[in-house]
Amino acid sequence: MSNKSFDEDQLNIEIRKFLKQVGITSQREIEKAVRAALQAGTFPDSGKLDTKMTLVVPALGLEHVIERDLHIDVGD
């Protein structure tokens, strides 16, 4: 067993940078896909979008899944 330690502040900064990039790019991609579906006429009438995000860190054996429905009000 290893007694290695790490800099908690540096870890926190790296995780926050990663999550900021994930958040910003994910929002842009969802917005782009919603616009495209509306334009193509394929957006669900219910306005409900099942979403799923999977975080994988292979070196740590981590796989974490978050699922949530997005409810989008679309006007005529």
Domain regions of the chain by residue span:
8-71
The pTM for the full model equals 0.84
The percent of residues above 70 in pLDDT, for the chain, comes to 97
pLDDT confidence bin for 3, thresholds 50/70/90: confident
Question: Residue 72, exposed/middle/buried by CB under 10 A (0-12, 13-18, 19+)?
Answer: middle
- pLDDT at res. 1: 62
Q: What is the DSSP string of 4-39?
A: ----HHHHHHHHHHHHHHHHHHHHHHHHHHHHHHHH
Give the position of tokens 């290695």.
Answer: 4
Phi first, then psi: give them for residue 55, nearest 5 degrees: -100, 125
**Rounded mean pLDDT of 34-45?**
96
Q: What number is the average pLDDT over the span 49-61?
A: 98
Higher pLDDT: 1 or 26? It is 26
Mean pLDDT to the nearest integer, 3-17: 94
